[in-house]
């Protein structure tokens, strides 16, 4: 089988021959001013990321929608501590991040409102891509409007290798790309694969969650030459990590393209915030790293970190990227500040992991990440637990089917550097009726 690099180069040559190889035209703007302030520890600006006020009328409507009768007090606006957010290291309200966004809004404004391929790409965007590529130890990077668009763009571009080589006919089964996907992958990955399948460019194989023996049996039994393995790095509903070192070993053995969605790991994991590949020391074994900027980055958008050749292909064939407007300049400016703060304030990552250890010590649960599922069981039970926590001063979102299987409904707790030890202690006290059930479920 030709290597993936050779396949991509051949596809790029085909596109060039048809005048379908696109590129971004760079609009030059005055460079953003680097942040002047970083801090040695938490400040009052961190608290608004987890302390919020809920509208009483909205709460009543939500209860009614879910079959719960409104009771006295539900109609009152209430301040609660949020334990279901994704702003893991508290950058969304950091003074440097807010200042960068404000300066951009007051200077060049929202920026060109257009697709990046028309005139939406500026020196701000280019600098952000270069900064992310450097952070993730990748050759290049491409910004997308959302993490969802990033995943579907990657799958769309991968599938285009087949559609371009089989012009005028449907590709035979063995000519298509075999995509092996973890059973618990994010919906954006699944939808991207479905798009490639529908266009008869790919065939999907689902392997049991983090089961490398099952994956290897599927790989060894597959006669299709072009293989891709795609996985989340940190699974958002269970808080467990994909075995990236084992996947990298299988990649060496079977020659597949390894795509990792590090949405919940970038900025949070690794000494420098380079994500879970950095944490496991296997950056060199990842071909494409997709991620979100709305979680650890505290901003908005998605990214695809990859080689230059893959970036060229995705720019030209990644339809969700191609047909979306570029991210606004204040968002890009805030992202650049967030990357800077993330590097300078490494204590934020350390504090999150201290919280993980503290939560584990209080609950005796076997947890390994800031995403902690408290398994409750039925939908009725998880809604009652959610209501109890709400009245206790916490917002913890109940997760139900179809997001998780029936009778595995859960409260999804996520920890942030903006939480305090007292927040965590009070939450654990409020959760105490459900912790024995959760402990039993975690041992199954």
| Residues near 12 by beta carbon (within 8 Å), at least 6 away in sequence | 21, 309, 312, 313, 316
Ordered alpha helix ranges (H), 166-211: 187-198
The alpha carbon of 178 is separated from its chain's Cα centroid by a whole number of angstroms, namely 23
pTM, entire model: 0.94
Digitized pLDDT (tens) for each residue of the chain, 444 residues in all: 459 999 999 999 999 999 999 999 999 999 888 887 899 999 999 999 999 998 888 888 887 888 777 777 677 788 999 999 999 999 999 999 999 999 999 999 999 999 999 999 999 999 999 999 999 999 999 999 999 999 999 999 999 998 887 666 677 777 899 999 999 999 999 999 999 999 889 999 999 999 999 999 999 999 999 999 999 999 999 999 999 999 999 999 999 999 999 999 999 999 999 999 999 999 999 999 999 999 999 999 999 999 999 999 999 999 999 999 999 999 999 999 999 999 999 999 999 999 999 999 999 999 999 999 999 999 999 999 999 999 899 999 999 999 899 999 999 999 999 999 999 999 999 999 998 766 555 544
CA–CA dist 237, 373 (Å, integer): 7
CA–CA dist 16, 184 (Å, integer): 37
CA–CA dist 59, 66 (Å, integer): 11
pLDDT at 443: 47
pLDDT at 117: 95
Q: Which residue(s) pair with 226 in the sheet?
A: 177
Of 284, 188, 300, 289, which Cα lies nearest the Cα of 233? 289
Instruction: Report, in angstroms and rounded to the nearest whole number, the Rg of the chain calculated over CA atoms.
Output: 23
Strand order, beta sheet including 78-82: 51-54, 78-82, 394-395
CA distances from 372 to 38, 262, 396 (A): 29, 17, 11
CA–CA dist 41, 417 (Å, integer): 10
CA distances from 363 to 184, 288, 412, 415, 434 (A): 25, 37, 15, 14, 11
CB atoms within 10 A of CB 246: 16
pLDDT at 1: 41
Q: Which domains does the chain have, with CATH numbers?
A: 44-92+345-432 (3.90.1150.10), 112-327 (3.40.640.10)
Q: Can you tell me whether residue 128 is helix, strand or coil?
A: helix
pLDDT at 58: 85
The alpha carbon of 310 is separated from its chain's Cα centroid by a whole number of angstroms, namely 20
pLDDT at 396: 95
pLDDT at 163: 84
pLDDT at 263: 97
In this structure, what token pair is assigned to residue 291? 């991620």
């Amino acid at each position: 089988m030709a290597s993936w690099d050779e396949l991509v180069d051949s596809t790029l040559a085909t596109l060039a021959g048809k005048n379908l190889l696109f590129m971004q035209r760079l609009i030059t703007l005055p460079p953003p001013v680097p942040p002047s302030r970083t801090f040695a520890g938490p400040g009052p600006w961190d608290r608004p990321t987890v302390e919020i006020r809920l509208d009483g009328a909205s709460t009543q409507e939500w209860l009614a929608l879910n079959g719960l009768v409104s009771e006295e007090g539900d109609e009152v606006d209430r301040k609660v501590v949020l334990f279901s957010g994704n702003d893991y290291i508290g950058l969304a309200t950091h003074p440097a991040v807010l200042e960068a966004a404000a300066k951009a809004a007051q200077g060049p404004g929202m920026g060109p409102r257009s697709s990046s391929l028309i005139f939406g790409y500026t020196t701000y965007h280019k600098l952000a891509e270069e900064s992310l590529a450097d952070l993730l130890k990748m050759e290049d990077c491409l910004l997308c409007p959302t993490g969802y668009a990033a995943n579907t763009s990657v799958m769309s571009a991968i599938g285009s290798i087949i559609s371009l080589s089989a012009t005028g006919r449907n590709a035979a089964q063995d000519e298509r790309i075999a995509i092996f996907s973890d059973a618990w992958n994010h919906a954006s990955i699944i939808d991207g694969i479905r798009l490639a399948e529908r266009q008869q460019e790919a065939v999907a194989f689902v392997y049991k969650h983090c089961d490398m023996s099952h994956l290897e049996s599927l790989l060894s039994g597959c006669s299709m030459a072009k293989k891709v393995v795609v996985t989340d790095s940190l699974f958002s509903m269970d808080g467990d990590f994909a075995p990236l070192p084992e996947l990298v070993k299988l990649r060496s053995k079977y020659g597949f393209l390894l795509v990792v969605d590090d949405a919940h790991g970038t900025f949070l994991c690794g000494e420098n915030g380079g994500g879970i590949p950095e944490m496991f020391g296997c950056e060199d074994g990842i071909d494409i790293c997709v991620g979100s900027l709305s979680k650890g980055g505290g901003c908005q958008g998605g990214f695809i970190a990859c080689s230059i050749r893959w970036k060229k292909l995705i720019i030209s064939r990644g339809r969700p990227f191609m047909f979306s407007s570029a991210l606004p300049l204040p968002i890009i400016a805030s992202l650049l500040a967030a990357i800077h703060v993330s590097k300078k304030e490494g204590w934020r990552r350390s504090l999150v992991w201290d919280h993980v250890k503290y939560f584990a010590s209080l609950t005796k649960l076997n947890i390994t990440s800031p995403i902690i599922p408290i398994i409750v069981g039925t939908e009725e039970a998880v809604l009652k637990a959610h209501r109890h926590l709400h009245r206790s001063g916490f917002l913890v979102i109940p997760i139900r089917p179809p997001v998780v299987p029936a009778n595995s409904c859960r409260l999804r707790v996520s920890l942030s550097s903006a939480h305090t030890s007292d927040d965590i202690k009070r939450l654990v006290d409020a959760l105490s009726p459900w912790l024995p059930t959760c402990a039993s479920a975690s041992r199954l």
